[in-house]
Amino acid sequence: MMHHFFGTLLLLSLLFSALPAESQQAAAIIPKPQQVSPLQERAVRLNSKSHIYYQAPFASQAAYLQGLIKAQTGLTLPLQQITSNTGSLEGIILLQDAAAVQRPEMYILHSGNKAITIKAQDVNGIVYGSQTLLQLLPLENRRGLRVEPVEIIDYPQYAYRGMHLDVSRHIFPLDFIKKYIDYLAFHKFNTFHWHLSDDQGWRIEIKSYPKLNSVGSWREATLIGHFKDQPARYDSTRYGGYYTQDQIREVIAYATQRGITIVPEIDIPGHSRATIAAYPEFSTHPDTTWNVATTWGMYNRQNNVLAPHPETFQFLKTVFHEVADLFPSPYIHIGGDECSKMWWKASPQAQEFIQANNLKDEKGLQTYFVEQVSEYLAQKNKKVIGWHEILEGDLDSSTIVMNWADAKTGAAAAMRKHPVIMTPGKPLYFDHYQTKNPNDSLAIHGYNPLDAVYNFSPMPDELQGKPEARYIMGAQANLWTEYISSPAKVEYMVFPRMTALSEVLWSDPRQKDFEDFKRRLEQTVIPRFKRWGTAYCTEYADWTIHNQ
């Protein structure tokens, strides 16, 4: 008896000491799943002969998972399509099961005995189950893998989980755009908001108005340092470029495989300096030659608005139709932010237009632009997203409001029955500082440290318990790139704040715990940043909202 007891003990302790680290991984997943249950089953063993089985709708995601497992562990698992789950398959199985999985984007992962099964009703669910599985696998080359016995039932808290990237102020290589999409997929985001036009450069090929690219995509110089520095200094380097429609199609296909919708933004009627540089006839001074902006912070300082000429509306219709034909997204972002009214006030033509169309004032003219473009996009079955300034006038409530002001402004838009995406400058502008270190790399201003992001709630207090709470679709962090000119700086500014936001958007708010988040960040995510060669802010734990 005694002998038996010690024998068992010895065996057990041997077993435990021999267990690789991944047996503890389910407790360190980011974003934290809704439900994780350890199982009394055998760990699943995988080697180069284990297959990834998949049902036809998930063929592309099976190939994606195969590539991710290879990159992470060196193992290439063969793919095989199946029509149904026979119950005796060994390996990884991707199944469509709308009866078991009742929500969009949800997945159920079961790991035990001979197989790891991921069930979902849609592509996104399979992508997220796959991301979770990767976090259960070791982060090094192995000949064989061992996956702990566990069941994970998981789905997102918010339907809209976005990251934005401004490619006008600085443009980034196509390969980096794909990498950014990979980062989004890892964090279970589902939307990439691509800010493609602004005063400092037009970044999407438009076939019907080629000067947008030959002229509007290039600026003659770029500001050095902060725009408030006196005197202002500029380099003398011609800067620019744009993504061709073929490249954009390539990125869309890449994103689709990863469950990511790309929402393109063409910013009108303000932030349009690159447009009027290419086509001065759309400006309030058709005889002027405008340059593509070389400085930042144009609002109220330089004319960058479209004028309400008939040719301008023809232009908007054609361009937005071209954009709508290119992007499968149900939403197109039309900007609408920071449209200075002073240029319309000073323009006799704009004033006549306001009178002739019975518009109240310049705000009414702004609404007119938004309504016109909404109509062009409705013809292509697209819904419109605009920055919250589009509510300055009266507007049809089907327009989606992207709120970069505070929670109160977001709540007010929801009370007007607009669907709302929360992107408040505090704390979701990732172009703001994340440390108070005087040696930190230049940022625009502000202070949004990691804990401020983690403790953010997309739901405004004003909507607690109100039926209008359902208008809050989710949230997004914005990355404006005035002071961000390289991929490494993009990574530095978003990591690890984007990791914190992923948990805000995905996980159950009742399970939020910043200390536990930091533990999982260190165990699961930081080693991946290192392995991927990704830049990130290493001082994240030293700076909190309290050290002002």
Report, as residue numbers or ranges, the catalytic residues: 338
Which residue reads 């399970």 in tokens?
511
**Contact present, 447 and 544 (Cβ < 8 Å):** no
Our CB check for ligand TNX shows the closer of 402 and 525 to be: 402
Shortest separation between residue 198's beta carbon and ligand TNX, angstroms: 6
Q: How far is the CB of 341 from ligand TNX (least distance, A)?
A: 16
Nearer to ligand TNX, 153 or 405 (CB): 405
Residue 475 carries which side chain, given as an amino acid letter?
Answer: A
> What is the C-alpha to C-alpha distance for residues 364 and 367, in angstroms, rounded to an integer?
5
Contacts of 80 (CB under 8 A, 6+ apart): 51, 52, 53, 54
Q: In whole angstroms, what is the distance from residue 189 CA to residue 124 CA?
A: 10
Rounded Cα distance between 161 and 510, Å, is: 19
Nearest distance from C-beta of residue 445 to ligand TNX, angstroms: 8
SS3 449: coil
387 makes contact with ligand TNX (CB under 6 A): yes
Coil/strand/helix, residue 160: strand
338 is an interface residue for ligand TNX by CB under 6 A = yes
Confirm if 258 and 267 have CB atoms less than 8 A apart: no
Q: Give min distance, CB of 387 to ligand TNX, in A.
A: 4
Q: Binding of ligand TNX at residue 429 (CB under 6 A)?
A: yes
Beta bridge mates, 218 = 240
Closest separation in Å from C-beta 330 to ligand TNX: 21
CA 174 from centroid of its chain's CA atoms: 16
* Gap between the Cα atoms of 240 and 245, Å rounded: 16
Out of 97, 220, 337, 392, point to the residue binding ligand TNX (CB under 6 A).
337
∠ CA 294-296-301, nearest 5°, is 95
Beta carbon nearer to ligand TNX, 72 or 403: 403
Site string for ligand TNX, 174-193 (x = CB under 6 A): --------------------
Site mask, ligand TNX, residues 435-474, x = CB under 6 A? ---------x------------------------------
CA atoms of 141 and 188, how far apart (whole Å): 24
Among 431, 451, 468, 491, which residue interacts with ligand TNX (rule: CB under 6 A)? 431
Taking the least distance from each CB to ligand TNX, the nearer of 108 and 422 is 422
Count of positions on this chain that bind ligand TNX (CB under 6 A): 9
Check residue 491 for interaction with ligand TNX (CB under 6 A). Answer: no
Taking the complex as a whole, the smallest distance from the CB of residue 338 to ligand TNX amounts, in Å, to: 5
- Rounded Cα distance, 509 and 11, in Å: 41
Contact between 404 and ligand TNX per CB under 6 A: yes
Binding site for ligand TNX (CB under 6 A): 337-338, 387, 404, 429, 431, 444, 480, 482
